[in-house]
Amino acid sequence: NAGVTQTPKFQVLKTGQSMTLQCAQDMNHEYMSWYRQDPGMGLRLIHYSVGAGITDQGEVPNGYNVSRSTTEDFPLRLLSAAPSQTSVYFCASQGETYNSPLHFGNGTRLTVT
């Protein structure tokens, strides 16, 4: 059971470049989310989805787009990378109830120069 698979593990972008962080889960979880982790800031919610075809903004959505065409996949897109988006990104999925623990991917360290 792979759980939550997140790729790539590391990425370096130049300002203005675009890229997609991939996230897939094989637990049939409806709820998926993206967080960014910055020093001294904890984890902050970027976008989330409660099921295929449904997405919503979290605490820090600017500069990021998401889509949820299938239950399994929840990619995060950076359309025009900025140095402020240098961070560690985590994808997570969650079971049916709000009190279910999150299952995290292994994170992507993104550097924007």
Partner 1 sequence: AQTVTQSQPEMSVQEAETVTLSCTYDTSENNYYLFWYKQPPSRQMILVIRQEAYKQQNATENRFSVNFQKAAKSFSLKISDSQLGDTAMYFCALTGANSKLTFGKGITLSVRP
Rounded Cα distance, 91 and 85, in Å:
16
Nearer to partner 1, 45 or 52 (CB): 45
Instruction: Rule CB under 8 A: say whether 40 interacts with partner 1.
Output: yes
Instruction: Rule CB under 8 A: say whether 10 interacts with partner 1.
Output: no
Instruction: Rule CB under 8 A: say whether 74 interacts with partner 1.
Output: no
- DSSP codes joined into one string, 47-58: EEEEETTEEEE-
- Backbone dihedral angles phi then psi of residue 46, each to the nearest 5 degrees: -95, -65
Per DSSP, 101 falls in state P
Instruction: Rule CB under 8 A: say whether 99 interacts with partner 1.
Output: yes
The residues that touch partner 1, with contacts defined as CB under 8 A, are 33, 35, 40-45, 48, 58, 88, 90, 92, 98-99, 101-102, 104, 106-107, 109
